[in-house]
Amino acid sequence: MANVQENQDTQEAEAPAGQRGGSQGKSDSESQKKAPDPQRKRTIRFVLLALLVVALIVAIPIYAYYSVRENTDDAEVDGHVIPISPRVNGTVLEVLVNDNQVVKAGQPLIKLDPADYQVAVAQAEAQLASAEANTTESTVNVPLTNINTRSQVSTSGTQVDEAQANVAAAQQGVNSARARITEANANLAGLQADLVKAQKDLVRYQDLVSKDEISKQDYDAALASQQSAAAKVDAGKADVNSAQHSLDQALAQVNVAKARLATAMVQRRQSEETRPRQQEVSAARQKQSEAMVKQAQANLNQAKLNAGYTVIVAPVDGVVSKKSAEPGMQISPGQQIMALVPLDDIWVTANFKETQLKKMSVGQKVDIEVDTYGSSRKYHGHIDSLAAASGAKFSLLPPENATGNYVKVVQRIPVKILLEPGENRDHKLLPGMSVTPIVLLNSGTNNYN
């Protein structure tokens, strides 16, 4: 750079005087044009300073305002939606309300056909009358207890005598069956001996006939004799089995007769032992009949309640919505026929980002702007509670971060905001409306604006 400057100075020195003078004048005029105006610089600096001051004046209140407030547009008005359903089956006789109609608690909504339940009431009344008649009868039966017990003791004694006679007869049948078995076994032994002899004879005849020492007719006679002896043995065995079966039957009859005798003896003993207590039994039966009267009375009360349930009334004050009941419709318990929305009990559910919850706490005041009404009207409330988990955790398919595909996303936590008393006096806030809540983080020193 120094060499270049020196070359320029040398060229200017060697140039003619006229040229140097001309270039000097041109250079002075250009330098005058390029020289900045001091007044203009001061003006620019003043304007920049003023803009900076204005920016600070504007930024400080804005920062002060938003640093103590958090808001979200992911919020809506929530409320109870009470399903109205019948408590009894029935046919809709009359629908007394329409959609979007305001009703009071206890106001009739629907009337069902009460005919079936009126019949049930009549039946319950008849059952009550029958139970009362049974109570009167049980009271009259108490003096007859002694006569009945004496008759029972006498009857049970007769049954014991008859059972004892049956046992003796059955025992005789056992003895006869055993004698028959003995006889059949002896007969079978003789027949088996005859069979053995016939079999041996047949063997000998087989050897003789093979040597033509006897005739074929003699061999056939020996064979027939052996077959006859075998048939007699089979018949003897059948007799033994039959005799054994008869013995089994006789023993069974003895057991039955003994069981009946034991039963008769127990009944006679029970009759004798329970005779002094029959008066107490009669008194207990009387109490039982009185209890049946109370049961019948309870059934009557239930029938009257069911008849009363044919008129469906509003459980709370509210607005009728989603009415589906029509005259002639058959409905059953648990079937929703309309909904009731109580507008006096609503709140705001705001889904704040998790990064906005750092300074939030229960009780902080909230300004609420409703999209429907814009900024022309603000509602006031306070934070009631924060949800126990993010909204994603309650979704149908909650995220599973352990799969390895985790992408960090700022989660939203539902915050419940209650309105201050009287804020929705005109019932203009409806469930489902979109709102923008603004939480005052330092509610102790901030007032509503």
Question: Could you tell me if 41 and 399 are in contact, meaning their C-beta atoms sit under 8 angstroms apart?
Answer: no
What are 154's two structure tokens? 């006498």
What are 89's two structure tokens? 């089956």
Residue-wise pLDDT for 2-14, tens only, equals: 444 444 444 444 4
Does 140-289 match 71-79+339-440 at the fold level?
A: no
Stretch 277-290: mean pLDDT, rounded? 80
Tally of CA atoms within 13 A in the half-sphere of 263 that contains its CB: 10
Stretch 267-273: mean pLDDT, rounded? 73
The single-letter DSSP state of residue 349 is E
What contacts 176, CB < 8 A, 6 or more positions away? 250
Other Cβ atoms less than 10 A from the Cβ of 405: the count is: 8
Rounded CA-CA distance 177/52 in Å is 133
Residue-wise pLDDT for 398-413, tens only, equals: 776 666 666 677 889 9
For position 8, what pLDDT does the model report? 46
Going through 170-317 in order, the beta strands assigned E by DSSP cover 311-313
> In this predicted model, which residue has the larger pLDDT, 317 or 148?
317
For position 369, what pLDDT does the model report? 93
- Using DSSP's 3-state secondary structure scheme, residue 121 falls into helix
| pLDDT greater than 80 at residue 140 | no
Q: Distances from the Cα of 213 to the Cαs of 103, 200, 209, 225, 376, in angstroms?
A: 127, 17, 6, 19, 144
What contacts 290, CB < 8 A, 6 or more positions away? 135
> In this predicted model, which residue has the larger pLDDT, 203 or 328?
328
**Domain residue spans in the chain?**
71-79+339-440, 140-289
What angle (nearest 5°) sits at the alpha carbon of residue 427, between those of residues 364 and 412? 40
Of the candidates 429, 287, 378, 326, the residue with the CA atom closest to the CA atom of residue 71: 378
Stretch 288-299: mean pLDDT, rounded? 92
Ramachandran sector of residue 422 (left: φ over 0; alpha: ψ -120 to 50; beta: rest) = left
Question: Could you tell me if 292 and 88 are in contact, meaning their C-beta atoms sit under 8 angstroms apart?
Answer: no
Residue-wise pLDDT for 160-192, tens only, equals: 777 777 777 777 777 777 777 777 777 767 777
Pick the CATH number of 140-289 from 1.10.287, 2.60.40, 3.40.50, 1.10.3470: 1.10.287
For position 175, what pLDDT does the model report? 75
At 436, which amino acid appears?
A: T
Residue-wise pLDDT for 338-393, tens only, equals: 999 999 999 999 999 998 998 899 999 999 999 998 878 899 999 999 998 888 88
Other Cβ atoms less than 10 A from the Cβ of 242: the count is: 14
Residue-wise pLDDT for 41-68, tens only, equals: 778 888 888 888 788 777 766 665 656 7
> In this predicted model, which residue has the larger pLDDT, 22 or 425?
425
Q: Is 63 exposed, middle or buried (0-12, 13-18, 19+ CB in 10 A)?
A: exposed
| pLDDT greater than 60 at residue 254 | yes
- What b/e string do you get for 12-45 counting C-beta neighbours within 10 Å, with b at 16 or more? eeeeeeeeeeeeeeeeeeeeeeeeeeeeeeeeee
For position 447, what pLDDT does the model report? 41
Mean pLDDT of the chain: 80
Instruction: Classify domain 71-79+339-440 by CATH number.
Output: 2.40.30.170
* pTM (predicted TM-score): 0.56
Express as a percent the part of the chain with pLDDT over 70: 81
